[in-house]
Amino acid sequence: MKTHRPIQLPTPKTIIEPFRIKMIEPIGMLRPEERVRLLAEAGYNVFKLPAEAVTFDLLTDSGTSAMSAQQWSAMMAGDESYAGAKSFYNFERAVKDLTGMRHVIPTHQGRAAESLLMKAMLKPGQIVIGNTHFDTTRANIESAGGIAKDMPCKAAADSGVIDPFKGNINTEELDSYLKENKSKVGFVIMTVTNNSLAGQPVAMGNLRAAKEIAKKHGIPFFLDVARFAENSYFIKTREADYSQKTVKEIAQEMFSLADGALMSSKKDAFGNIGGFLALNNNEVAEAVRTLMVITEGFPTYGGLAGRDLEALAVGLEEVLDENYLAYRIRSIQYFGEGIEAAGLKIVKPLGGHAVYIDAGKTLPHIPALKFPGQALSVALYEHIGIRCCEVGSVMLGHRDAKTGVEHPAPVEQVRLAIPRRVYTQSHVDYMIEMIGYLAPYLGDLPGYEFEYQAPMLRHFSARFRRC
């Protein structure tokens, strides 16, 4: 008999979507003239477009995931009892397995968990320190009478610096600040990954150091874990000593450092809605359970249906699949590399859930107060059907109510957030190709000015005109 040569194929360069599609949803395929009309009707504000008219909806990765067959089938078993539903215990088991925390309290989304935590923990005037607070976290701290303080690491200040963990907190600053001011500080909260800093991850070493500093000064240490699995995968692939650990072990180690955690389950739990608070402290948990009945509902459902709790319990396990995470992180990098090759300036290194385009550098002919990020996001919709989010002087700048003078933001960016398990590589290739065709015309894009703006959160409802 002929002896066969053993066949050993190389490791493939292509990382595939580790799933197949069972149910489809058509996407809007409009003619450019239709998009031009809709944009004018929306006052050039992409938040006001009907989702049906969008081809690629990259406004957010929040609540936009495709759920799995396992999640949908778990939903059928949802127990809708008001109190003590079986679905609550399934959810509680999943969260405890991951976090090891004593108390698990569901909420209808992340900001509800923030609001409850701030009300239960903060006294007026107390400071909450973070690596960088997400905007709803900041708003909830302030509305509870507290002060939100960001302490990003030094590498974060320069968008050109390549550093594996630009989401870190500045531990030296944290230590010296707590030495002077610990009596004024309520707690420290670390956001993993750091959404307000382009989705950059936080190192385990940094979490541990921050925890030890907080502990030394007697300050509680919390985590905002909307994207905990993506952060854990970055730790596995970038931090020494973690390559042999599973992502689940890494996540469990991360949680073991904290006194409590809050999560928007609309991200890494693949939920279309949901959140939770996980706490070790009995008094804080009791205070939250008392407060939540007014706004969220009974503590075993927290504003969610039993079926939502079932879907989230499954999602929290599924997200730890390392084939999924390899695909997820690689697909963001692939998209970012493609956009950069097309000639646009992006924020580097690429983070875990979105590509951020530096609109200021990409459209240098449009000054900050003519809103380059707005110009780019309108153009991406008009010419390609991509809806994305300006993160610049429209969202983060403000108009002085007395003088009417506009103040710009420190960055002019556009965020292209990628919903989980939703778009395929051919969608991404199409977007990259079209961005390449648009690139030579970017210097011709007009700037914008406000036609209308609300006194708060103006980016959601503003109307603009071209100028």
Q: Does 111 interact with ligand F0G (rule: CB under 6 A)?
A: yes
Q: Which tokens belong to 171?
A: 């531990």
Select 109 or 377, whichever has its Cβ closest to ligand F0G. 109
Nearest to ligand F0G by Cβ — which residue? Answer: 110
CA distance 257 to 262: 14
Q: Which tokens belong to 353?
A: 């859930």
Q: Is 466 helix (H, G, I), strand (E, B) or coil?
A: strand
Q: For ligand F0G, what does the binding mask look like between residues 238 and 267, x meaning CB under 6 A?
A: --------------------------x-x-
Select 86 or 119, whichever has its Cβ closest to ligand F0G. 119
CA distance 58 to 432: 14
Task: Kindly indicate which of the ranges 13-21, 87-95, 107-115, 248-256 contains the residues binding ligand F0G, using the contact rule CB under 6 A.
Answer: 107-115
Q: Does 62 interact with ligand F0G (rule: CB under 6 A)?
A: yes
Q: Decide if 374 contacts 389 (C-beta within 8 A).
A: no
79 is catalytic: no
Answer left, alpha or beta for residue 264, where phi above 0 means left and psi between -120 and 50 means alpha: beta
Select 91 or 445, whichever has its Cβ closest to ligand F0G. 91
Q: Which of 40, 82, 154, 215 is catalytic?
A: 82
Tell the smallest beta-carbon distance from residue 202 to ligand F0G (Å): 12
82 is catalytic: yes
103 is catalytic: no
Q: Which tokens belong to 407?
A: 């103040």
Q: Decide if 422 contacts 443 (C-beta within 8 A).
A: no
DSSP notation for 382-418: HHH-EE-EEESTTTT-EE-TTT--EE--S--EEEEE-
Q: Where are the beta strands (DSSP E) in 153-259?
A: 185-191, 221-224
Cβ contacts of 316 within 8 Å, gap of 6 or more: 94, 95, 98, 265, 268, 269
Select 224 or 412, whichever has its Cβ closest to ligand F0G. 224
Q: Which tokens belong to 406?
A: 């506009």
Q: Which tokens belong to 322?
A: 């390392």
Q: Decide if 215 contacts 183 (C-beta within 8 A).
A: no
224 is catalytic: yes
CA distance 191 to 167: 8
Q: Does 224 interact with ligand F0G (rule: CB under 6 A)?
A: yes
Q: Does 191 interact with ligand F0G (rule: CB under 6 A)?
A: yes
Task: Kindly indicate which of the ranges 105-113, 233-241, 253-261, 293-301 contains the residues binding ligand F0G, using the contact rule CB under 6 A.
Answer: 105-113
267 is catalytic: yes
Rounded to 10 deg, the angle between the 247-256 and 86-99 helix axes is: 90
Q: Is 177 helix (H, G, I), strand (E, B) or coil?
A: helix
Across the chain, how many H-helices and E-strands are there? 16, 16
48 is catalytic: no
Tell the smallest beta-carbon distance from residue 312 to ligand F0G (Å): 12
Residue among 28, 35, 42, 60 that touches ligand F0G (CB under 6 A)? 60
Select 60 or 90, whichever has its Cβ closest to ligand F0G. 60
Residue among 55, 71, 115, 195 that touches ligand F0G (CB under 6 A)? 195
In eight-state DSSP terms, residue 346 is B
Binding positions for ligand F0G, 115-134, rule CB under 6 A: 134
Q: Does 362 interact with ligand F0G (rule: CB under 6 A)?
A: no
163 is catalytic: no
Q: Is 321 helix (H, G, I), strand (E, B) or coil?
A: coil
Q: Does 109 interact with ligand F0G (rule: CB under 6 A)?
A: yes
Q: Which of 211, 267, 348, 353 is catalytic?
A: 267
Select 71 or 109, whichever has its Cβ closest to ligand F0G. 109
DSSP-derived pairing of the beta strands 185-191 and 147-150:
unpaired
Measured from the Cβ of residue 38, the count of other Cβ atoms closer than 10 Å reads: 19
Q: Does 136 interact with ligand F0G (rule: CB under 6 A)?
A: yes
Widest CA span of the chain, in angstroms? Answer: 92
Tell the smallest beta-carbon distance from residue 269 to ligand F0G (Å): 10
Q: Decide if 463 contacts 44 (C-beta within 8 A).
A: yes
Select 45 or 109, whichever has its Cβ closest to ligand F0G. 109
Q: Which of 56, 88, 91, 134 is catalytic?
A: 134
Q: Which of 226, 379, 417, 462 is catalytic?
A: 226
Q: Does 110 interact with ligand F0G (rule: CB under 6 A)?
A: yes
Residues in binding contact with ligand F0G, number by CB under 6 A: 15
Q: Which of 135, 150, 163, 175 is catalytic?
A: 135
Select 356 or 464, whichever has its Cβ closest to ligand F0G. 356
Q: Which of 224, 259, 268, 308 is catalytic?
A: 224
CA distance 282 to 280: 6
Q: For ligand F0G, what does the binding mask look like between residues 14 and 53, x meaning CB under 6 A?
A: ----------------------------------------
Q: Which residues are part of the catalytic machinery? A: 82, 134-135, 224, 226, 267, 459
For binding to ligand F0G (CB under 6 A), which residues are involved?
60, 62, 109-111, 134, 136-137, 191, 195, 224, 226, 264, 266, 275
